[in-house]
Amino acid sequence: MKEKSDKTRVHQLDSMIIEASSSQSTAIVASDASIKNDIATSISHTHIANQPLIKTLHHTAFVTSTEAEMFAIRCGINQATARTNVSKIVIITDFIHAAKKIFNPSSHLFQIQSVAILKDLCLFFSKDPNNLIEFWECPSCLDWHLYKAVDLETKAFYPTPSYPSKTS
């Protein structure tokens, strides 16, 4: 049953990408984060019309996985909303519950990220009330081609601790 569900999800993602790839006004953002030895790697890849637009890569120490994922989403939204011709943003992440925290004002731990994201989205929607943002969940286990590249890149980083004696 799970295998059929996974195949259905991959088909849905493929269909969405085919539709979005034909549009110059749709930005696809694949974002992911990984934490190794207390160092988070946040990556977002932004594509428009089936062409890579920009890749953002950040490293930081001592943050939660939710903070790292929200930061990756924030970077992607920031890059997409900075484009004047973008009217639709599609966020693809394996951490959909982090995306839900963006719109939850009671998540005090994540307010810094939420406020920055909501500021970008406020400007995006004030340009045109018909602008749209969608969030798609893509678990890493699906091995879906667009998300797989981002997932592998976050896991490929091997941090060198500044203080090796403090590494457990």
Domain definitions of the chain by residue range: 24-145
pLDDT per position as a tens digit, 62-85: 888 888 999 999 999 999 999 999
User: Which pTM was predicted?
Assistant: 0.85
Give the pLDDT confidence score for residue 15 in this predicted structure: 93
Give the pLDDT confidence score for residue 163 in this predicted structure: 57
Class of domain 24-145: alpha beta
Give the pLDDT confidence score for residue 159 in this predicted structure: 62
For the chain, residues with pLDDT lower than 70 are 105, 107-108, 158-168
Give the pLDDT confidence score for residue 168 in this predicted structure: 44
Q: Say which residue the tokens 């034909």 belong to.
A: 22
